[in-house]
Structure 1
Amino acid sequence: MSIKLIATDMDGTFLRDDHTYNHPLFDKVFRQLERHNVYFVAASGSSFPRLQREFKDYVNKMIFISQNGSVIHLGNQLFKSFSINQEALARVIHILDRFYGPNDINQLVISTSEKSYVDQGMSARDFEIVKLFYEQVERIPDIRKIFLQRPSEKFTKISINFANHIDLKNVAATLDGYLPPSLIMENSGFNTDLIGNAAATKQNALSILQHHFKLRTNEIVTFGDNENDLGMLAMTTQSYAMRNAHSIIKMQAAHITQNDNNHDGVLQTINALIKNNH
């Protein structure tokens, strides 16, 4: 059985808890993947500019699924994106304002394929956190009027980081019945929900890449740790839940990594797979 493509989630999976990774080991592994013509895909809930920064020396040789599947890049080139229509975006903002107050939401981020926007009133601390995950971030006077102020923009994702006293299970129960059918909401970890086009999932993005590169399902390896990775993990018999993943994620994956995300779990597993498959 040969491997042609490896797709891995980022935070909690490929990246350590401090958002770093083992650069020397990655360079060694990446060279081996190149030698065997294996595509390497970074699949994340965060933005493409953030992934560009994380992999600045490898961007042109990698594939990126960002914003939970809303945006796909082949190297630096935008390959496909799924936008949210303005009416649906306005509906989401209305629903959030109806059920949640300013003390319930820490960060509200609205993104295009290349840029993200936040409210002018966001705290300096929250703004720094948002920049870590989205990189290209602009403050605007009123985030709730963005769809009126920028009618020609193609928005791709809404990210809501809720305060610790908000239970995401209750959020899902509350919002699911009110979201337009054209949208999907997924838990991205860290008490954050991502809302985007219903077709914009990591699983669908990976399926698009599978079709584009004419790959068989058993030629794809996937890694993940959270709810938004489940579809991707279910695609292939070569799926790996992280040692540190929730038990539900481990039950859905075909395998569990020997090491967790803080001990190079993804890279160590890829190393072993290369030795065994080539």
Structure 2
Amino acid sequence: MIKLIVSDIDGTLVPEGTNDVNPEIFPLIRSLRARGVYFAVASGRHKCSIEKLFAPVRDDIIYITSNGAYTGTYSKTRAEFPLSKDIYTSLFQDFDTAIGYPYFAETANGAYTSCPDPEFSRLLTEDYGYDIQFRPSLLDLPEKIIKLSLYHPENAQNIDEKWLKKWNKICRCAVSGTHWIDFMATDVNKGNALFRLQEILNVTIQETLAFGDQANDIEMLKQAYFSFAMGNANCTVKNAARFTCDSCYNDGVLKTIRGFFPHD
């Protein structure tokens, strides 16, 4: 019996970088919650973006956001895992002096960028639903940084492997979508966040249904017996999951959940 459903957002529940969620998911989430089934969103996005995307059911879902660096509900934080200042200072130096691509920082309650390009801010606010704030420097934010995200305008896979090797020595570095590389504390990922949530809810791996499409979803998929890679996922993700469902463009998540719960 399924007691917990966990879904990634970009490339899984919606096409990447959009807010085109099928509204039929909202009454389904309410119906599942009424019968005791939890629905969790596990995304690289910040909590503020998820709150907007799931506004009709924001009090009915669980948030695993910032790639697992934050877990909670709409009204209560359960866990957050910040980067150390030494680590994000080193990353800022690499981004600013050698990489040259825009980036932003997330805290538990906000998102900030020092990039002055209005198109980058538009991308974050309009396409991803962020409440992005501009700061000339990100070194002294009002809260601890839980995630950094570097934007590659073409494809994040094109980042030189030497940088990924360097960054992975000091933090958790994960490709999160076509354009993004995310940076979190070393032991932060969606799978660890899901494991902690399962313990809190007293739910087993065999009672968990999960959906994902990117490399940053693999640990999460391994933490669910009913693990589904999207039809649009790459082979690495499909090999990590037990099952494959339809693509995000054809409501694969919605169809699969209805297959498990045909009367909801």
With the shorter chain as reference, the TM-score category is: over 0.9
Unmatched tracts of structure 1, length 5 or more:
none
Question: Could you tell me which of 253, 257, 263 is aligned with 1:270?
Answer: 257
CA positional deviation for 1:181:
4.3
1:113 equivalent in alignment to 2:108: yes
d(CA) in 2 for partners of 1:36, 1:169: 45
CA positional deviation for 1:134:
5.3
Alignment coverage as a number of residue pairs: 262
**2:74 alignment counterpart:** 75
Question: Could you tell me which of 233, 250, 260 is aligned with 2:221?
Answer: 233
Question: Could you tell me which of 159, 163, 168 is aligned with 2:157?
Answer: 168
3-state SS, counterpart of residue 179 of structure 1: helix
Matched to 1:267, the amino acid is L
Question: Could you tell me which of 124, 135, 138 is aligned with 1:140?
Answer: 135
CA positional deviation for 1:153:
2.3
Any conservation in 2 of the 1:114–1:136 contact (CA below 8 Å)? Answer: no
CA positional deviation for 1:182:
4.8
Output one character per residue of 1:142-201: Cα deviation in whole Å (capped at 9) or x when no partner.
Answer: x3xx22x33x5211010000132x662543x22244337451000001221000111221
Output one character per residue of 1:192-243: Cα deviation in whole Å (capped at 9) or x when no partner.
Answer: 1000111221001101101111111100110001111011111222000011
Using the size of structure 1 for normalisation, the TM-score is 0.88
Unmatched tracts of structure 2, length 5 or more:
none
1:209-220 mapped onto 2 (5 Å cutoff): 209-220=197-208
3-state SS, counterpart of residue 56 of structure 2: coil
1:186 equivalent in alignment to 2:181: no
d(CA) in 2 for partners of 1:119, 1:111: 12
Output one character per residue of 1:87-132: Cα deviation in whole Å (capped at 9) or x when no partner.
Answer: 111111122334323xxx1x310110111111252x2221111123
d(CA) in 2 for partners of 1:100, 1:162: 10
Change (3 A) 1:120 1:100: closer
Any conservation in 1 of the 2:156–2:181 contact (CA below 8 Å)? Answer: no
Any conservation in 2 of the 1:47–1:133 contact (CA below 8 Å)? Answer: no
Question: Could you tell me which of 111, 120, 126 is aligned with 2:120?
Answer: 126
RMSD over aligned Cα, in angstroms?
2.0
Structure with higher RCO (Cα < 8 A, 6+ apart): 1
Any conservation in 2 of the 1:48–1:134 contact (CA below 8 Å)? Answer: no
d(CA) in 1 for partners of 2:192, 2:144: 20
CA positional deviation for 1:248:
1.9
Moved more, 237-246 or 72-81: 72-81
**2:184 alignment counterpart:** 196
d(CA) in 1 for partners of 2:97, 2:26: 48
1:247 equivalent in alignment to 2:231: no
Matched to 2:106, the amino acid is S
Matched to 2:225, the amino acid is T
d(CA) in 2 for partners of 1:216, 1:120: 43
d(CA) in 1 for partners of 2:152, 2:15: 22
d(CA) in 2 for partners of 1:225, 1:177: 23
CA positional deviation for 1:60:
1.1
Change (3 A) 1:246 1:236: same
Moved more, 45-54 or 198-207: 198-207
- Residue identity over aligned pairs, in percent, reads 23
3-state SS, counterpart of residue 93 of structure 2: helix
Any conservation in 1 of the 2:5–2:40 contact (CA below 8 Å)? Answer: yes
CA positional deviation for 1:28:
3.5
1:224 equivalent in alignment to 2:219: no
3-state SS, counterpart of residue 40 of structure 1: strand
